[in-house]
Structure 1
């Protein structure tokens, strides 16, 4: 997977493997205890969650969510999603909604000022500031994703020990 070149802030993948879902889950249970010093692995039904241990985790550390779906021919579809910690992602989305809300409110106010033939300059300035803040959030997320790439690769290697993608 080319993480560096994708525009998505939460890279994902999907592939079919020859292993059955039961084999993959059994491998995950074995590996869970072998790597408990460095990684936290949670298994829930056909979902496997990979986390960096708390001591090595920082605010931008990724987690990997893998969903397994058994196909009719006894192969398994493996879908994965890399993302930041849920708390960080929720805060990130909260900031996006606040910025979008302020932008929308001031665009309505600017339209009202324009129809009343008053100066909407301040409204446009605030809307421009919201656009700058939105781009700043996006680029900060890209910087954080670049910082967490070594940890993403470690999670990917851990997944490769559980699932045979060959």
Structure 2
């Protein structure tokens, strides 16, 4: 899996494997007890979630969610999504919405000041600062993705072991 040069912060993939959904779910249940010291595997219907255990998890540690869909020829389509911990992702999105809200508020204030022929310097300065914060969040996410790359590879290897391809 090569994700180093992509712009996507939450890499995803889709693969077809000749194994049936039932075999994959049985294999996941079997492997679940074998790897419980390092990984946690949660099975829900046709979804499998792979997590790093709390003892080995960092704030940037990823999780892997795969969805199993049956194809017409009894093979299985696997759609996977790597993502950060849900708490970190929620906080990250919260910061984005706060920054966007501040940007829009000061854009409206700047328009009002411009229509009233008042100074808009402070308004545009704050809007520029919000743009800088947006880029800072993006680059922080890229740094975190680079830090978690070895853990993503380990989760990918575990997923391949579960689906056996």
Shorter chain as normaliser: what TM range? over 0.9
Separation in 1, partners of 2:106, 2:5: 35
How far apart, CA to CA, are the structure 1 residues paired with 2:100 and 2:93? Answer: 10
| 1:122-141 mapped onto 2 (5 Å cutoff) | 122-141=122-141
1:114 aligned residue: 114
* 1:80-129: CA deviation from partner (whole Å, max 9, x where unpaired): 00000000000000000000000001001101111111111100000000
Cα deviations across residues 18-74 of structure 1 (Å, max 9, x unaligned)?
111111111100100000011000000000000001110010000000100111111
**Can you list the C-alpha shifts for 1:6-27, whole angstroms capped at 9, x where unaligned?**
1111000011111111111111
Aligned length: 165
> Residue in 1 aligned with 2:59?
59
> Which residue of structure 2 aligns with residue 71 of structure 1?
71
Moved over 2 A (4+): none
| Secondary structure in structure 1 of the residue aligned to 2:42 | strand
Question: TM-score, normalising length from structure 2?
Answer: 0.98
Residues in 1 aligned to 2:6 and 2:45: alpha-carbon distance in whole angstroms: 30
| In 2: Cα distance, 1:76 partner to 1:126 partner | 51
* Alignment correspondent of 2:104: 104
Q: Specify every segment of 5 or more residues in structure 1 that has no aligned partner in the other structure, as ranges.
A: none
Mapped pair 1:162 → 2:127: no
Counterpart secondary structure, 2:81? strand
In structure 2, distance between residues paired with 1:40 and 1:163: 16
Identify unmatched segments of 5+ residues in structure 2. none
Q: How much does 1:164 deviate?
A: 2.7
- Superposed counterparts of 1:10-29, under 5 Å: 10-29=10-29
Match for residue 86 of structure 1?
Answer: 86
Instruction: State the distance in 2 between where 1:73 and 1:101 align.
Output: 49
